[in-house]
Structure 1
């Protein structure tokens, strides 16, 4: 992770605030900052979303292309994640400063999305399938990148529309793919099992969710928990330095399950509300 410098007095101020359950921005230890979510913001993408979590700004675009399934999984489609840490997001990303973080996030997403059923992406078993390219651009970094990216990715996949394509066998080695005459005849990917990340930072003897950049700098250890619907835990990994006691990990997983369950429910309601509006927003600048 990237790091910033703080004086001992500033760190003590943050530590004392967390101990009193009053963080430096007025939140309690288990509170998230305000979020803003927009879907269908990129014209030429199969699906897209933009999420702002306080000062953190994430843009995700999904592109669907026809590919050949893996030999070991002939009945399953493909999904691939690519993360771009913009140098404008934070000075720490200048040059190749964000490459390691980008690789860590994309690897975490790939492992977490093992639970997503991709059978529907198969067109003709062993011959053709849909491959989803999920491009993630970090526009601004204000802390808690893992949670923000996971929420934006799930939103973009929810917004993704995949054209109806039928395949028929011509002979044993070739297939004929037929695209529907109606270009707007598409189907939606089921993302009900897609997880969200919950990052827990250990500051002193306490755990906080949705850490700011300042809190991340004061954290002695951080853990990211992948949480599916109904609070099911689908993955867990540690980021950065430091360590957790065994009992602390158990407490962190239990807390993440509760928070992740509410996070998934809230996101689902927000996405359904956004979809029901049925309004196609006018786009500006590079989003047009």
Structure 2
């Protein structure tokens, strides 16, 4: 999708008047739909649709050995795959750079213990821990990927069930774990403060959230903020433009405010969701 100068001017004027192409105001999101527990062999999963952006997340876990320098912690890894059907830009190896950028941003956002406590994944200090793999598939790209991915990841981790360990047998260097095989004998991950990302774009002299593909092309600069509870866990500048320090501060405040609103809406939805149920929110 490519816009001519006249179309970009039209978008800019709409943002200035606080009336965007689809009728939203500058701080409004497009409708979302969330579904959890949809991947049969995963420990947790979620699919989120934000207008034309479609993200599928599956979580799997296995027993591993902690890092020597972090003997009391488990492991958390992110992998992003950009489907070639999502957009023509992803054909061949076109989506690799974006996939790496999203995975690295998620890793940075979840690194803080205030965002996600890895010590709760430790089974036996220095010996055994849970390793959590978060696999993200971008099915369709309709703008604002970072926000959609962060919400889908948080929902999938909330849906994840970790089997309980009822005993440890140590015989020399051999360690055997008594892991429950009962379907409902599991623990939930604590994702209360897991980060929510908000992309803030500057178009003309105003800042907006949840940019569409057309609005992303009109942006003169943008940042992605990840908010955990009431704290920033990471800030990323995207695109090629730059922001004045005053605009940056305004963008951070806007991102922080909107992230908390998004998080409240997500939790309200997760509390009422049932397995296999499709739920819309922020409509």
Q: Which has the higher contact order (CA 8 A, sep 6+)?
A: 2
Pairing 1:188-207 to 2, within 5 Å after superposition = 188-207=188-207
Distance 1:6 1:135 in 2: 33
Deviation for aligned residue 1:182:
2.5
- 1:76 aligned to 2:66? no
Q: Which residue of 1 aligns with 2:108?
A: 111
1:22 to 1:119, Cα distance in 2 relative to 1, 3 A? same
Asked whether the equivalents of residues 82 and 135 of structure 1 are also in contact (C-alpha less than 8 Å), the reply is: yes
Deviation for aligned residue 1:180:
2.1
Q: Which residue of 2 aligns with 1:233?
A: 232
Residue by residue, what CA displacement relative to the aligned partner does 1:50-71 show, whole Å, maximum 9, x if unpaired?
0000000000000011111100
Distance 2:18 2:149 in 1: 26
Deviation for aligned residue 1:172:
5.1
SS of corresponding position for 1:226: strand
Asked whether the equivalents of residues 124 and 167 of structure 1 are also in contact (C-alpha less than 8 Å), the reply is: no
- 1:243 aligned to 2:222? no
Asked whether the equivalents of residues 123 and 167 of structure 1 are also in contact (C-alpha less than 8 Å), the reply is: no
TM-score under structure 1 length normalisation: 0.92
Distance 2:259 2:181 in 1: 41
Deviation for aligned residue 1:281:
5.8
Pairing 1:1-288 to 2, within 5 Å after superposition = 4-115=1-112, 116-171=116-171, 173-229=173-229, 231-274=230-273, 277=274, 279-280=275-276
Residue by residue, what CA displacement relative to the aligned partner does 1:99-133 show, whole Å, maximum 9, x if unpaired?
00000000000000012101111111111110011
Tell me, which stretches of 5 or more residues in structure 2 are unaligned? 279-283
1:16 to 1:190, Cα distance in 2 relative to 1, 3 A? same
SS of corresponding position for 2:69: coil
RMSD of aligned residue pairs (Cα, Å): 1.4
Distance 1:49 1:32 in 2: 19
Deviation for aligned residue 1:171:
4.3
Distance 2:37 2:144 in 1: 23
SS of corresponding position for 1:170: strand
Distance 1:58 1:183 in 2: 27
Tell me, which stretches of 5 or more residues in structure 1 are unaligned? 283-288
Distance 2:131 2:79 in 1: 13
Q: Which residue of 2 aligns with 1:286?
A: none
Q: Which residue of 2 aligns with 1:285?
A: none
Distance 1:69 1:15 in 2: 51
Distance 2:206 2:104 in 1: 28
SS of corresponding position for 1:21: coil
Deviation for aligned residue 1:236:
0.7
